[in-house]
């Protein structure tokens, strides 16, 4: 810029550039991660297809094609009324494409409910431990450390065997049962078993969120803005809920996105072992369990639920990597 221009008061380039919002900075960093963007697109397609399962499919979830001479039947099999079984039929004659979509709805719903409950519970306890410190921090941290020393899978197997095999029914309000039944497209009794499994997975799901939020709260509670809030008379609950937790959400969001894939794999493992969601409610895990007995004669059968399971679990991990890079304040803008 020339001296004459400066003398005339022309705005400089730095002054002319508007400050970019933090949300735009995070979005730009996230879109640089190509695998994360591709994962978002694939997961959106799978999630949308699961929500529209009753519209997309032409077969009921549990309808059996008694006319099928071969069970399981390969992809492209034709039903007695001329309809196409896109992915074939299973050992009972049920349409696999229909069940994969319904299974996606159940598996994804379980993952989102578990992560939402466990991350919220863990973040709240972690904020309390980090904010108050002292005896509160010691008690909650010792509980967290004790839970971390317990081997998770054997305990989950034992709890699942006790609760799910005995048809434990939770005393939920009627509207909650109806809401879950509509969400899972399953009868209320089947939805109850899904809720029991969700609570079982929450038992160990909050541990990492607790540690992350505790560390953030320990740092934030010593900041000047917390002292200023106390000086003006803000209550502890307001400081924790309106300031500590929102300012410590970045690692929690990354942990939640990474946990989604792990919860889906864990739920599939429990269902595969017969201790998760039970038939006729479809999940990718119990579909793999049924395919196990026929996989040598029909090697394509485990791929039907296996491929979407792998895509979803890897996709959530890529999204977590993208969020971690996007929310890292140490990276350049």
Q: Domain ranges in the chain?
A: 23-327
Longest dimension (CA), the chain: 90
Q: What is the pLDDT of residue 323?
A: 92
Q: What is the pLDDT of residue 44?
A: 96
What is the distance between the terminal CA atoms of the chain, rounded to a whole angstrom?
A: 26
> Is the pLDDT higher at 67 or at 229?
229
What is the per-residue pLDDT across 286-333, written as a single tens digit (0 to 9) for each?
A: 999 999 989 889 999 999 999 999 999 999 999 999 999 888 766 655
Mean pLDDT over the full length of the chain: 87
b vs e for 181-201, b when ≥16 Cβ sit within 10 Å of the residue's Cβ? beebbbebebbbbbbbbbebb
Q: Is the peptide bond before 280 cis (omega within 30 degrees of 0)?
A: yes
What is the per-residue pLDDT across 232-285, written as a single tens digit (0 to 9) for each?
A: 999 999 999 999 999 999 999 999 999 999 999 999 999 998 888 888 889 999
Residues 129, 137: contact at Cβ < 8 Å?
yes
11: burial class by Cβ within 10 Å (0-12, 13-18, 19+)? exposed
Q: What is the pLDDT of residue 4?
A: 41
SS3 224: helix
Q: What is the pLDDT of residue 333?
A: 56
Structure tokens at 172: 């939920």
Report residue 146's pLDDT band, with 50, 70 and 90 as the boundaries.
very high
Instruction: Say yes or no to pLDDT of 166 above 80.
Output: no
Structure tokens at 55: 């519209």
DSSP code string of 250-313 = HHHHHHHHHHHHHHHHHHHHHHHTTSSSPTTS--HHHHHHHHHTTTTT-TTTTHHHHHHHHHHH
Q: What long-range pairs does 42-49 form, CB within 8 A, spacing at least 24? A: 42/311, 42/315, 43/312, 43/315, 43/316, 43/319, 46/104, 46/108, 46/308, 46/311, 46/312, 47/104, 47/108, 49/101, 49/104
What is the per-residue pLDDT across 107-131, written as a single tens digit (0 to 9) for each?
A: 999 999 999 999 999 999 999 999 9
Q: What's the whole-number mean pLDDT along residues 161-176? A: 75
* CA gap 67, 115 in Å, rounded: 42
Structure tokens at 132: 């108050």
Residues 186, 110: contact at Cβ < 8 Å?
no
Q: CA angle 331-245-198, nearest 5°?
A: 105
What is the per-residue pLDDT across 6-34, written as a single tens digit (0 to 9) for each?
A: 444 444 444 433 456 888 888 888 999 99
Q: What is the pLDDT of residue 19?
A: 58
* CA gap 240, 184 in Å, rounded: 34
Q: Which of 165, 162, 194 is nearest to 181 (CA)?
A: 194
Structure tokens at 86: 């896109």
0.85 cut: is pTM over it? yes
CATH superfamily placement of domain 23-327: MetI-like (1.10.3720.10)
């Amino acid at each position: 810029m020339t001296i004459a221009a400066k003398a005339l008061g022309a705005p400089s380039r730095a002054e002319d550039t508007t400050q970019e919002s933090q949300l735009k900075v995070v979005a730009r960093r996230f879109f640089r991660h190509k695998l994360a963007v591709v994962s978002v697109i694939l997961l959106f397609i799978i999630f949308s297809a699961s929500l529209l399962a009753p519209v997309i499919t032409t077969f009921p979830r549990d309808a059996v094609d008694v006319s099928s001479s071969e069970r399981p039947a390969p992809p492209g099999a034709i039903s007695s009324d001329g309809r196409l079984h896109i992915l074939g039929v299973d050992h009972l004659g049920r349409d696999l494409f229909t069940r994969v979509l319904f299974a996606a709805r159940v598996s994804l719903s379980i993952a989102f409910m578990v992560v939402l409950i466990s991350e919220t519970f863990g973040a709240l306890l972690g904020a309390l431990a980090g904010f108050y410190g002292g005896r509160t921090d010691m008690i909650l941290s010792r509980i967290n450390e004790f839970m971390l020393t317990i081997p998770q899978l054997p305990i989950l197997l034992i709890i699942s065997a006790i609760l799910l095999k005995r048809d434990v029914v939770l005393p939920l309000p009627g509207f909650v049962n109806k809401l879950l039944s509509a969400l899972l497209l399953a009868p209320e009794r089947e939805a109850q078993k899904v809720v029991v499994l969700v609570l079982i997975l929450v038992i160990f799901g909050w541990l990492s969120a607790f540690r992350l939020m505790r560390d953030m709260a320990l740092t934030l509670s010593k900041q000047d803005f917390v002292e200023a809030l106390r000086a003006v008379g803000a209550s502890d609950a307001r400081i924790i809920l309106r300031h500590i937790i929102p300012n410590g959400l970045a690692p929690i969001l990354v942990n939640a996105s990474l946990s989604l894939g792990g919860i889906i794999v864990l739920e599939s493992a429990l269902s595969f072992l017969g201790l998760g969601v039970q038939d006729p409610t479809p999940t990718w895990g119990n579909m793999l369990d049924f395919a196990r007995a026929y996989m040598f004669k029909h090697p394509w059968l485990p791929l039907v639920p296996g491929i979407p399971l792998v895509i979803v679990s890897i996709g959530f991990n890529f999204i977590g990597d993208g969020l971690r890079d996007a929310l890292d304040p140490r990276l350049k803008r």
